[in-house]
Amino acid sequence: MTETVAGREIGSARRRSEDARLITGRTQWTDNLQLPGMCHVAFLRSPYAHARITGVDAAEARQRPGVVAVFTGADLADEQGSLPCAWPVTEDMRHPDHPPMAVDHVRYVGEPVACVVARDRYAAADALEAIDVDYEPLTPVLDMEQAVADGADLVHADLGTNSSYTWVFENGDLDAALRDAPVLIERRYVQQRLIPTAMEPRAVVCAPEGDGFTLWSATQIPHILRLMLATVTGIPEHRLRVIAPDVGGGFGSKLQVYGEEVLALLLARRLGRPIKWTESRSEGNLTVHHGRDQIQRLTLAAERDGTIRGLKVDLLADMGAYLMLVTPGIPLLGAFMFNGIYKMDAYSFTCTGVFTNKTPTDAYRGAGRPEATFAIERLMDELAAELDLDPIEVRRRNWIRHEEFPYDTIAGLTYDSGNYEAATDKALHLFEYDTLRAEQADRRERRDPVQLGIGVSTFTEMCGLAPSRVLGSLSYGAGGWEHASVRVLPSGKVEVVTGSSAHGQGHETAWAQITADRLGVPFEDVRVLHGDTSVSPKGMDTYGSRSLAVGGIALVNACDKVVDKARRVAAHLLEAAEEDLEFTGGRFSVRGVPDQARTIQEVALAAFAAHDLPDGVEPSLDSDATFDPDNFSFPHGTHLCAVEVDTETGFVRIRSYVAVDDVGLVVNPLIVEGQVHGGLAQGIAQALYEEAVYDAEGNLTTTTMADYLIPSAADLPHFVTDRTETPATTNPLGVKGVGEAGTIASTPAVVNAIVDALRPYGVRDVPMPCTPERVWRALNEQEGSA
């Protein structure tokens, strides 16, 4: 049950503790590390999307100045193992070997084929050019629909197919719905391939230390990485320490076990000295896992009054050339979300994972849920247009009403709480919906070359990944719990250790806020430690908007255990019964005798000295706890976007954007707002700017930031953000998670707005990203056919 804590820290807009080092340049990025004797490694990468390696000549490179060693895939074949996939989604999933460095085949441009270890990065880069690799090119497989057709060329010849798996979920009588419903909306949408583009390129440093190795990496997942490095290399887990120092953004791209991390460890072992690798941006665009990349075939069945009967979803999901850590599971995270916030009688979801000769895909902000949300929110607008209803109205007729929670959805989830009416009403008010509709009508009337469009997205998502038993039922290789420990030091200062691994989210601040309130200590007295497996022994790391909804609750539990223990000690010191003690503001006092009291700091010192502890109480005031949620959390909200479309050039300008999000209780409104802003930017970027493009030979043509367009401040609008607060009922704080909401919600809001602007011209879709040329073409095709 929800126990909303309204302390003085929780809910306050604390400025972040992290900032002190980040605004002064006193950061510790992995690439900053310089260790005695450290060598730099550089990788030679395949220029072919698909080829057989017939020979590698590294003799000349070995003679280059400053070169310590050169290794090919063959040199490391016996020890490099295969990169892990922790999510075998079906029993018969085809899962090819994935050597960290290619041995005899390359299957995407950028796959490493050899490496140079040298005294500095300049020497390493120079020597790469002296390595000669002979390739026998093979036909690349680049198109998913062709890849699953009969007679297709194969990415992995030994698998006999390009299909990795087909995963099905069905509920209700969809055939009946499709047969009987008077309205069928059939669409094919493409979720283009995206490059996550965290600002910090990947970097890894590995040093032999004592009888083991310490590995620093720009990773979101130090704990999972340690386990996987042990599994892949056979080096015992307890001989490995993994540190995620300051990490410059991830967005899912650093939720991975990369070949370069494994190889850095192997090279450090081979050479007995520290090894550093730092990627360049263009190398990263080729080799950091990509996101999205789905072809969606959708059929929505509805009554003429707009009531949805059922939804059929048929996906092809591009895995790329190999299955990486959670590659096959990403599209399935969307399986439970295609129904959105709507009620329906029948639902069918089929997803086929397809191998292609492209960079592997995996989690990117939202991971499966943006794709699903886009589909249903676009379909709702199409349904509204088909029935000549307002898009808000058609949603109202179908969404789960606030009094219907908890609600078991057609996709098998139980939404614990929500209030779609409240969020929508607030958003409509802030947006001045009716005024903008009037302006739209006026521009249409005038045939203004700049048309106005309004897009709606009433989204929900599942986050707080995840109940371990649910993950188990989906064959995921690990649990979804999180760990925290709290130590009240003898001086009364507090150290918090979290298994969550922040890389921009502000845990050091938010966790201190929670702790300050739960323990009644000053915010400044709390220090939060994370991202080092020797400091934080247990953890499941940071992804899937899980940190607060899972890790935050573990922290609450750990704090509460500390208070319980302190209560026993305090009762003993005060010679009072535990049940007679009140704990407020960090002070235990005897009910009715307020001056008989001990502060938690005094109790901590007494517990440290241990001169006089009650029987059975161990010295020191600390505790740890884990939390494994019973359910996901379900943030939701209503986003409204107005765009101006220049019908002459196809250029789209976002005129206004309103986001009302319901993320449950808010620990730090500043951090929440920042997460929403950043999420919006990335979701809008999918709608308008970003796409990883391959040419006919399988070369990525968007390897630099000059070609893969990341929006700047000048390209994005001012956002109006607000919140409603419907607490989650599945955790004691009532929190839900906010890391992905903005990204999930905004893409369909923008595309809906563009299509809305152009609907009078007969346009009913513009493929993403909605570049000026695509908008212009959509208009032109209509005019041509009219």
- Residue 451 and residue 460: Cα distance in Å, rounded? 29
- Residue 593 and residue 575: Cα distance in Å, rounded? 12
Min dist CB 492 to other proteins, Å, is 27
| Helical (H) or strand (E) element with 39 | strand 39-45
Number of residues that bind other proteins (CB under 8 A): 79
| DSSP secondary structure code for residue 399 in this structure | B
**740: exposed, middle or buried (Cβ count in 10 Å: 0-12, 13-18, 19+):** buried
Min dist CB 528 to other proteins, Å, is 16
Q: Does 702 bind other proteins (CB under 8 A)?
A: yes
Among residue numbers 501 through 520, which ones bind other proteins (CB under 8 A)? Answer: 503-506
Q: Does 16 bind other proteins (CB under 8 A)?
A: yes
Q: Does 220 bind other proteins (CB under 8 A)?
A: no
Q: Does 696 bind other proteins (CB under 8 A)?
A: no
Q: Does 26 bind other proteins (CB under 8 A)?
A: yes
Min dist CB 201 to other proteins, Å, is 7
Neighbours of 734 (CB within 10 A): 23
What binding mask, one character per residue, do residues 118-157 give for other proteins by CB under 8 A, x or -?
A: --xxx--xx--x----------------------------
Do residues 329 and 90 make contact, with C-beta atoms less than 8 angstroms apart?
no
Within 8 A by CB and 6+ apart from 715, the residues are 689
> In this chain, which of 36, 713, 784, 786 binds other proteins, going by CB under 8 A?
713
> In this chain, which of 712, 784, 785, 786 binds other proteins, going by CB under 8 A?
712
DSSP-derived 3-state class of residue 589 = strand
Q: Does 709 bind other proteins (CB under 8 A)?
A: yes
> In this chain, which of 198, 295, 660, 753 binds other proteins, going by CB under 8 A?
198
> In this chain, which of 283, 293, 377, 765 binds other proteins, going by CB under 8 A?
283
- Residue 27 and residue 307: Cα distance in Å, rounded? 54
Q: Does 34 bind other proteins (CB under 8 A)?
A: yes
Neighbours of 654 (CB within 10 A): 24
> In this chain, which of 63, 491, 534, 704 binds other proteins, going by CB under 8 A?
704
| DSSP secondary structure code for residue 627 in this structure | E
Phi, psi of 127 (to 5 degrees): -70, -25
Closer residue to other proteins in complex, CB, 261/673: 673
Among residue numbers 78 through 117, which ones bind other proteins (CB under 8 A)? Answer: none
DSSP-derived 3-state class of residue 686 = helix
> Phi-psi bin for 699: left (phi > 0), alpha (psi -120 to 50), beta?
beta
Among residue numbers 732 through 771, which ones bind other proteins (CB under 8 A)? Answer: 742, 771
Among residue numbers 225 through 244, which ones bind other proteins (CB under 8 A)? Answer: none
- Residue 185 and residue 248: Cα distance in Å, rounded? 42
> In this chain, which of 119, 343, 677, 764 binds other proteins, going by CB under 8 A?
677
Do residues 89 and 14 make contact, with C-beta atoms less than 8 angstroms apart?
no
Residue in this structure with the two tokens 């765009």, named with its chain if needed: 643
Closer residue to other proteins in complex, CB, 6/713: 713
Min dist CB 773 to other proteins, Å, is 4
Strands (E) across 647-697 are located at: 652-662
CA 775-778-780 angle, to 5 degrees, is 110
Using only C-alpha atoms, the chain has a radius of gyration, in whole angstroms, of 28
Q: Does 6 bind other proteins (CB under 8 A)?
A: no
Q: Does 18 bind other proteins (CB under 8 A)?
A: yes
Neighbours of 610 (CB within 10 A): 12
Min dist CB 205 to other proteins, Å, is 13
Among residue numbers 624 through 653, which ones bind other proteins (CB under 8 A)? Answer: 648-649, 651
DSSP-derived 3-state class of residue 230 = helix
Closer residue to other proteins in complex, CB, 197/299: 197
What binding mask, one character per residue, do residues 309-348 give for other proteins by CB under 8 A, x or -?
A: ----------------------------------------
The piece of 10-18, 297-305, 425-433, 473-481 that touches other proteins (CB under 8 A) is: 10-18
- Residue 147 and residue 160: Cα distance in Å, rounded? 12
Min dist CB 279 to other proteins, Å, is 10
What tokens appear for 437 in the block?
Answer: 């509709």
Q: Does 251 bind other proteins (CB under 8 A)?
A: yes
Q: Does 462 bind other proteins (CB under 8 A)?
A: no
Q: Does 705 bind other proteins (CB under 8 A)?
A: yes
Q: Does 305 bind other proteins (CB under 8 A)?
A: no
Q: Does 706 bind other proteins (CB under 8 A)?
A: yes
Q: How far is CA 75 from CA 69, 103, 125, 229, 234, in A?
A: 11, 9, 20, 19, 17
Q: Does 179 bind other proteins (CB under 8 A)?
A: no
> In this chain, which of 492, 674, 732, 734 binds other proteins, going by CB under 8 A?
674
The piece of 135-143, 266-274, 590-598, 712-720 that touches other proteins (CB under 8 A) is: 712-720
Three-state SS string over 461-515 comes to: CCECCCCHHHHHHCCCCCCCCEEEEEEECCCCCEEEEECCCCCCCCHHHHHHHHH
